[in-house]
Structure 1
Amino acid sequence: MTKSLYSLVTIILTCTLYGFGQLEISSNGRYLVDRDQAPFFWLGDTGWGLFQVPNRKEIRRYLKSRAKQGFTVVHASACHLNPFIKPDLQNSDGDMAFINVNLLKPLITKGNNPKNELEYDYWDHIEFVIREARKHKIYINFLPLFNMAEDDGYNLIDLNNAESYGKFLGERFKNHPNLIWCMGGDVLADNDLRKSIWNQLAAGILEGLDAQGKDEVLMTFHVRGGHSSSEYFQNTPWLDFHMLQTWDKYTSIYDRVTEDYLKSPTKPILHGEGAYEDGPEYPTKPITPHIIRKQFYWASFAGGMHTYGNSNVWSFGSNKDYISKPWKDALKSEGAKNLSIARKIMESVQWYALSPCLDIFKEGQGSAKDLNVAMCSKGHERLVVYCAAACSIKLDLTKNSKGGYKSAYWINPINGKHLRIKNRNLTSTQHFSVPSNWEDGILLVE
């Protein structure tokens, strides 16, 4: 069997066995779809240290837990050289990623038997993680390197090694359809030299993947807090969807996603990092489950995708300064549970058929931490409103192309339960109030 035929058979068997394959961009450019063109719901989790810190048993536990909760994507970096994931460029087995910290010299051994430490190397371990994720139908938003703020993130990758390193990664992991390739790593690309580095890394990956047409590959860029990939790569061919980070400025999420939503050419937008649940490092702490819900709904109702983070989980215990409880216990956090419910709610209202529509607010839209937002279907036949706090709103219900609505419900974002609103005229301007004792609420009118 030829190498190319073997690769093709491997991909076919992989997709058949696990029921999914490479994602694509939707025809309208607003979201991702699977190989059958069905809308893909991105519910991400930041597991940045997944390849380096936990052992094989712990990796299985983490992925099984997140899959059960409904997460579909995990952000993880192939290797870290930053203050938060230790030891540098080394995994839980003590295997090093490179010889002499040189991206041109990945440390590779013959064989891949995990019971034989002379065979099982750093890159075999990464492949194990990718396969385990695939079993749980989880995609990896895969960063080649997370250098972060060390020397502004450019003390390891440069023009001399970026393309070669990218080619190595592309060739090594070309048969894994659950990889989404993410350049960057909490860095800026604010000059031509830095842009060139990421352009070369992307080119190397594509060469390694044998993806000249690039139709079967998704790529994005992970930028530093307060910025978006659109600032640097809006018209760059390899960048398929934008990724922005707000860090502690989570009240800016709706505006930042909207800013990218309005850009041309149209590309999907990922709110890739906000404030992490239980994070002690934020001036706006504590980061409660309520704030976790706000971030999700603000990003989603602006037309974007969203990735969650828990401060106790993402480093898997490596970053001692940001930990208040063991990461295995934090997997069951209230914020994660709330987002499991959020996915079910969004899928039940067919999120992909909705668009932002703030013009239905007559009163009570709110602002900042109490910003209320809305989405509607074409013709305004379905309205979905997220109220970020206990409040009253006044909505214009006269825009329905079919003349009026038949029902209205409040949905509790914490448990997903519906509360029917009775005896209302749903053909005119109406007031609605979030039920008592709720922190926030979702109004569905259809």
Structure 2
Amino acid sequence: RPNEPYWNLVDHAFDLAEREGITIGFLPTWGDKFHKAWGEGPVVFNPQNARDYGRFLGERYGHRRNLVWIMGGDRSIEPEHLPILRAMAEGIREAEKIRHLMTLHPQGGCSSSQFVHGEAWLDFNMLQSGHWWFDTRPDLMVERDLALQPPKPVLDGEPNYENHRPFRALGELKDLNIPPFGAYHVRRASYASVFAGGCGVTYGCHAVWQMAQPGFVGINHPIGTWKQSLPLPGARQLVHLKQLMLGMGLFDVVPDQSLILAGLGEGVETARACRTRDGKRAAIYLPWPRPVRPDASRLAQGGRWEWFDPRTGQTVRATAGNGYFDAPTAEDWVLLYR
């Protein structure tokens, strides 16, 4: 039987979010309630009660416009779990008044495509490139998903969180002196995945997601409190990525590594390029500065080159020497054509 005081609080959260123009990513359950690989549990769902629960959620929230359903809950999906998730998703679909987008939150280093890509209820893939170490390549995970059939959009729903120490430091290395992911790592993961074709990206902060505060027993050593973390630079800087992509015309942008004739780089320092289909706009993200030579023959004539600062959103004129462009400072930059 539903606990009405709890669901009244959820109703209130939806009302507040709608008032502020915020869309809620709604997870019907966390993963330990159907797959107790870790966490508190207990496992409570089977296909029948999962469908009933899905119908309850669809009836109660299926009229809300500020909603995206996120199934799963930070778990791999084994064959015995799929009927539970399918029933829950189908229950939601049967009862909701508006057909909302639906995806799945996988565990670290995975994509929803590895488990449920062919499911009819899955509208787009979500990957969790995660927090393991500094060499993670979310752009390659996006590329892999975009090559699948049937084609579905994809985004990185959990890249490295700001102020999150790498799991390798916490586990294998057991060294808390290893620094956490900072604003640069947030930018690098986000620009790389979006320029590779991701339809968006999620920002996360380790202290904020768990609402860390004095006296709180934190998970994986949060740094500071959630209030102290609100002004962190990565959170402020990602708005410039949003403005850049919307300015280019997000739904007309395609990844195109062939734009880079020289200066591609390797590993996590690999440059990523994208352009509009008509070639009137293009962008190359350089995780680390080096001379880069773009292929202007693939672009429409009449534009000009600029350096876009991912820290501030400001631009400066870019001038080439023998076809090569050099970044203004020893930081990550975007070479922009428009």
Question: Of 314, 329, 332, which aligns to 1:440?
Answer: 332
User: In 2, are the aligned partners of 1:379 and 1:399 still within 8 Å (CA)?
Assistant: no
List, as ranges, runs of 4+ consecutive aligned residues in structure 1 with deviation greater than 4 Å. none
Alpha-carbon displacement from aligned partner over 1:80-125 (angstroms, at most 9, x marks no partner): xxxxxxxxxxxxxxxxxxxxxxxxx3223xxxxxxxxxxxx00000
Q: Which residue of 2 aligns with 1:133?
A: 17
Q: Which residue of 1 aligns with 2:2?
A: 106
Q: Summarize the Cα distance change of 1:148–1:374 in structure 2 as closer, same or farther, 3 Å threshold.
A: farther
Q: Which residue of 2 aligns with 1:220?
A: 103
Does 1:320 pair with 2:218? yes
Distance 2:189 2:91 in 1: 35
Does 1:178 pair with 2:66? yes
Q: Which residue of 2 aligns with 1:195?
A: 82
Distance 2:158 2:260 in 1: 28
Distance 1:420 1:397 in 2: 16
User: In 2, are the aligned partners of 1:397 and 1:430 still within 8 Å (CA)?
Assistant: no
Question: Of 304, 311, 327, which aligns to 2:206?
Answer: 311
Q: How many residues align?
A: 318
Give the secondary-structure state (helix, strand or coil) at the position aligned to 2:29. Answer: coil
Alpha-carbon displacement from aligned partner over 1:156-178 (angstroms, at most 9, x marks no partner): 32224211111111112122111
Does 1:411 pair with 2:274? no
Does 1:239 pair with 2:138? no
Q: Which residue of 2 aligns with 1:205?
A: 92
Distance 2:84 2:76 in 1: 11
Q: 2:327 is aligned with what amino acid?
A: V
Deviation, structure 1 residue 319: 5.4
Q: 1:264 is aligned with what amino acid?
A: Q
Does 1:297 pair with 2:297? no
Distance 1:281 1:123 in 2: 35
Aligned-residue identity in percent: 29
User: In 2, are the aligned partners of 1:275 and 1:282 still within 8 Å (CA)?
Assistant: no
Alpha-carbon displacement from aligned partner over 1:368-420 (angstroms, at most 9, x marks no partner): 221110001224232211111122212221123x4x34311001110111111
Higher strand proportion (structure 1 or 2): 1
Q: Which residue of 1 aligns with 2:175?
A: none
Name which structure has the greater RCO, CA cutoff 8 Å, separation 6+: 1
Question: Of 346, 354, 367, which aligns to 2:253?
Answer: 354
Q: Summarize the Cα distance change of 1:251–1:147 in structure 2 as closer, same or farther, 3 Å threshold.
A: closer
After the TM superposition, which residues 372-387 of structure 1 pair with which residues of structure 2 at under 5 Å, given as runs? 372-387=271-286
Question: Of 97, 108, 123, which aligns to 2:7?
Answer: 123
Deviation, structure 1 residue 351: 2.7
Q: Which residue of 1 aligns with 2:50?
A: 162
Q: Which residue of 2 aligns with 1:271?
A: 156
User: In 1, are the aligned partners of 2:131 and 2:164 still within 8 Å (CA)?
Assistant: no
Q: Summarize the Cα distance change of 1:190–1:417 in structure 2 as closer, same or farther, 3 Å threshold.
A: same
Distance 2:147 2:141 in 1: 10
Distance 1:189 1:128 in 2: 32
Distance 2:164 2:335 in 1: 30
Deviation, structure 1 residue 442: 0.6
Deviation, structure 1 residue 147: 3.3
Deviates more, 1:247-256 or 1:404-413: 247-256
Extract unaligned runs of 5+ from structure 2. 170-178
Distance 1:307 1:334 in 2: 15
Does 1:252 pair with 2:146? no
Question: Of 390, 393, 399, which aligns to 2:292?
Answer: 393
- With normalisation by structure 1, the TM-score equals 0.68
